[in-house]
Structure 1
Amino acid sequence: MRTKYFITFFVLNLLAFNAFSQTDVAQAFSFAQKQMALMLKEVDSIKKADPDKSMLVSPRTLSADGKLVMVASKDWCSGFFPGELWFLYEYSKDKTWMELAKKFSANIEKEKTNGITHDMGFKVYNSIGNGYRLTNDSHYKEVIIEAAKTLSTRFNPVVGSIKSWDNRPQWKFPVIIDNMLNLELLFEATRLTGDSSYFKIAVAHANTAMKNHFRADYSSYHVVDYDPETGKVLHKQTHQGYADESAWARGQAWGLYGYTMCYRETHNKVYLQQAEHIARFIFSNPNLPADLVPYWDYNDPAIPNVPRDVSAAAITASALYELSTYSKNGKDYRSKADKIINILSTRYEAPAGSNMGFLLLHSTGHKPNHSEIDVPIIYADYYFLEALLRKQRLNKGQQVISHF
């Protein structure tokens, strides 16, 4: 009798642990609105105190002494904060958030012609793209198209990829797995213009990455370097991970998210299968903690005495909600996403009124460079809110990807 009671108690608690209701989503967004209000006050304070910092437009992280680190529009993280403001408007329908989102998005618009970076999607699509999705503003449409044109100039048809970084003497034509997230901007540009060239570039890049970035177990290298003249792979490495043959946690999340999105845009089942393979690698990994928040690299030999990467968990959760609507394993993916956001909400949230308004703690940016280790980081918060919105739509029986 006691055994039966224990099993029942265990199952009920497990279900409660995994479940994430509309009430939970509401509580998470209530917390987010209060934290974002705090962050906005801190941003205003920084700009008033030092007019020379007017070029700094978005929060990114906290410094070692707990101060808010702001970045210019050219920084790859600049679009996440405006995107969060758009998410708050989307959830609350409060036009105060919309006006703030417009204000901070305007700071990013000039990046539409910045051709020395691949991060156009992170910067422009996460800010202006969300703005267009929610307002149908024709001006935003033009910014998106211009940004896609600029990003397209970085495509090398011989390599079949968009170049990630410039002026890095150790590489000739580096392509990083993160770049998968910038393809959504190109797919959107084809939808807006009818010009299939953007679509074709995105597909070529996705195919080249699928061929060269992944190992037999579907873990991903971070960087693949190519010869721009021949397209030959020169070498593969994991620049931000523990070692070249290790699985850097955020890199695996970028791959999962990217190929899920590519399936949505193309309906090519090869991309769906790739996303499922990546998910299998993540969730069958013996070094994945029970709470599904990964260590910064799955192969760090010092596990468990190493930092976690909450950003990787948030990106993964958001991707899983979408993937759950395409895959025969959908129920399992949704359950895992529920568990992740439940854990993030209960164990990794910043205390209310703290951390300059960031939502989540314990992310890791670039450990080998001794940069942003065990800190809040803006993109963790962005994908956390996106996951919450996707969860809400699923709860309501709506499509997980919301368009205007």
Structure 2
Amino acid sequence: MNSRVLFAFCLGAIILSSCLTKSTKEKAYQPDLWSELQDQEYILVNNVDEFLKHSTERGEMAPRSLTPEGDLDMVPSSNWCSGFFAGCMWLMYEQSNDPKWKEKAEEYTALLADQQYNGNTHDMGFKIFNSYGQGYRLTHNPEYRDVLVQSAQTLITRFNPTIGCIRSWDHNQDKWQFPVIIDNMMNLELLFWATHETGDSVFYNIAVSHALTTLENHFRDDYSCYHVVDYDSETGKAVAHATHQGFSDASAWSRGQAWALYGYTMVYRETENPVFLEQAKHIASYILSHPNLPEDLIPYWDFDAPQIPNEPRDVSAAAIIASALLELKNYVPEEKNYYEEKALLILSNLTEKYRSPKGRNYGFLLTHSTGSKPHDSEVNVPIVYADYYYLESLIRNVYQ
């Protein structure tokens, strides 16, 4: 499907959404949007290709963000963000059917092959499912299937049956016994896929166990979530609730809430268990009704950040929320229009106010994401996963 045909579908969906205001429709009306996005993305491709002509000490192979000096920040395949760039290539190929994007997607996906055996991380979904998974969905390449199955097998080695969760991090072992972060919900989709493909229910059962245990221990009474829950490895009990990237242990880190919304929406899709649907709806309500959510629905980096409104936004959280809402709307007929309205308003504002100027930022699509404000890391900059979920949202608006 070419860019103008895809845009026509997007525009039609927006016009049919009666809840959207005229001004929102007008802002969303950008006939050359996909053409502009492809031009910008190819600038990033050219910059990455140029970078890879030279040997690197750390094996850097994928763009993540910009350095504090404003240079392109490249990361090795072991970095949790390494798969998003290849994923963007696959999404560009899906949208355009242009073989140049397929060629680049295959090239950058292949650079991640070693990660299928990396048992030191929970980030298999981010790295492998967003790259090889997208590739397999679009091409049915049997080699991609093999990598995905192996990746799922590697991931479940981190599962502790006493706790009922997959371990997130191995670092800070003097601080945490068995840390589980809300981000880990995103990696469960790989396990559900593995059961569909292989018929082996062990992957499915582990994913459901992790989702249920997280539901029980990660959420507060208002359905906001903690970033980190630490478990006693012997008893399986939750012993601490903390943050690593949020304002405080008791605050609602915005991207964490986004991961939770996306994760439980996806788990409902895979299980059809109404418990997970209700959880997703409650999380959506918390986010969308929060008094500190700005009018344009692009959240500050933490809902409880102390200097709101003089705090950085997190565009990546907004893109994740939009994508999640565009799926969630399909499961709740009574709230479909509401979720669609909010998702399209986010997309309209991302497109109108938060895109990189043409030719700037090395080719990243969006600006003003925040990686980790407490560490003064990646604050108010482009980040590759914001681009990925933005593209996914635009495509979901057509096909879902």
| Range class of TM-score, shorter chain | over 0.9
Name the CA distance, whole Å, in 2 between partners of 1:65 and 1:281.
37
Unmatched tracts of structure 1, length 5 or more: 1-11, 394-399
The CA distance in 2 between the partners of 1:280 and 1:146, in whole Å, is: 37
TM-score normalised per structure 1: 0.92
* Shift in Å, 1:32: 1.8
Confirm or deny that 1:90 pairs with 2:63: no
Between the aligned partners of 2:155 and 2:19, the Cα distance in structure 1 is 48
Once the two structures are superposed, residues 259-297 of structure 1 have per-residue CA deviations (whole angstroms, 9 ceiling, x without a partner) of: 000000000011110000000000111000000000000
What amino acid is the match of 1:311?
S
2:199 pairs with 178, 181, 194, which one?
194
State the distance in 2 between where 1:176 and 1:322 align: 23
Give deviations 1:379-398, integer Å, cap 9, x for gaps: 000000000000021xxxxx
Q: Would the aligned equivalents of 1:310 and 1:380 in 2 still touch at CA under 8 Å?
A: yes
Structure 2 residue 119 is the aligned partner of structure 1 residue 115 = yes
In structure 1, the partner of 2:78 is 74
2:362 maps to a residue whose letter is M
Once the two structures are superposed, the pairs formed by residues 165-204 of structure 1 within 5 Å of their partners are 165-168=169-172, 169-204=174-209
2:33 maps to 1:58? no
Residue 41 of structure 1 deviates from its aligned partner by: 1.3
Take 2:74 and 2:224, find their aligned partners in 1: how far apart are those partners? 33
Tell me how far apart the structure 1 counterparts of residues 181 and 55 of structure 2 sit (CA, whole Å): 36
Cα shift readout 1:54-88 (whole Å, capped 9, x = no counterpart): 82110000112211000000000000000000000
* CA deviation profile, 1:199-222 (whole Å, cap 9, x unmatched): 000000000000000000000000
Contact preservation (8 Å) 2:19, 2:338: no
| Cα distance in 1, alignment partners of residues 287 and 344 from structure 2 | 16
Alignment equivalent of 2:365, drawn from 359, 366, 386: 359
Counterpart-to-counterpart distance in 1, 2:25 and 2:118: 43
1:18, distance to aligned residue in structure 2 (A): 3.4
| 1:175 counterpart SS class | strand
Q: Distance in 2 between matches of 1:109 and 1:332?
A: 41
- Tell me which residue corresponds to 1:271: 276
Q: Say yes or no: does 1:339 pair with 2:351.
A: no
Whole-angstrom distance in 2 between the partners of 1:54 and 1:166: 20
**Superposed displacement of residue 330, structure 1:** 1.1
DSSP-derived class of the 2:74 partner:
strand
Q: Which residue of 1 aligns with 2:299?
A: 294
SS of 2:82's equivalent?
coil
Aligned to 2:160: 156
Query: 2-side partners of 1:27 and 1:16: how far apart?
Result: 20
Whether the 8 Å CA contact 1:296–1:306 is kept in 2: the answer is yes
Q: 1:22 to 1:89 in 2, by over 3 A?
A: farther
- State the match for 2:378 in structure 1: 372
Taking the aligned partners of 2:294 and 2:98, their CA distance within structure 1 comes to 38
**2:386 matched to 1:386?**
no
How much does 1:309 deviate?
A: 0.2
2:326 counterpart letter in structure 1: Y
Are residue 305 (structure 1) and residue 301 (structure 2) matched? no
In structure 1, the residue corresponding to 2:21 is in which secondary structure?
A: helix
- Which residue is 1:397 aligned to? none
1:15 paired with 2:21, answer: yes
**Cα distance, 1:13–1:151 mapped onto 2, change above 3 Å:** closer
After superposition, the C-alpha distances for 1:325-358 in whole angstroms (9 at most, x for unaligned) are: 0012111000100000000000000001110000
Amino acid at match of 1:354: R
Alpha-carbon distance between aligned partners in 1 of 2:29 and 2:168, rounded to the nearest angstrom:
41
Q: What is the Cα deviation at residue 234 of structure 1?
A: 1.1
- Structure 1 segment 187-336 matched on structure 2, within 5 A: 187-327=192-332, 328-336=334-342
Q: Residue type of the partner of 1:351?
A: P
CA distance in 2, matches of 1:361, 1:288: 18
SS in 2 for 1:230: coil
SS, match of residue 331 in structure 2: coil
Structure 2: tracts of 5 or more residues without a match:
1-17
Deviation for aligned residue 1:228: 1.0
Residue by residue over 1:310-335, the C-alpha shift from the partner in whole angstroms, topping out at 9 and shown as x without a partner, is 00000000000000000121110001
User: Is the 2:20–2:341 contact (alpha carbons within 8 Å) kept by the matching residues of 1?
Assistant: no
- What is the one-letter code of the residue matched to 2:378? E
Q: Does the 8 A contact of 2:28 with 2:351 survive in 1?
A: no
| CA distance in structure 2 between the aligned counterparts of 1:259 and 1:116, rounded to whole angstroms | 25
- State the 1:307 CA deviation: 0.3
Bigger mean CA deviation after superposition, 26-35 or 15-24: 15-24
Q: Secondary structure at the match of 1:70?
A: strand
Using the size of structure 2 for normalisation, the TM-score is 0.93
Report the alpha carbon displacement of residue 165 of structure 1 after superposing the two structures with TM. 0.3
Q: Distance in 1 between matches of 2:369 and 2:190?
A: 26
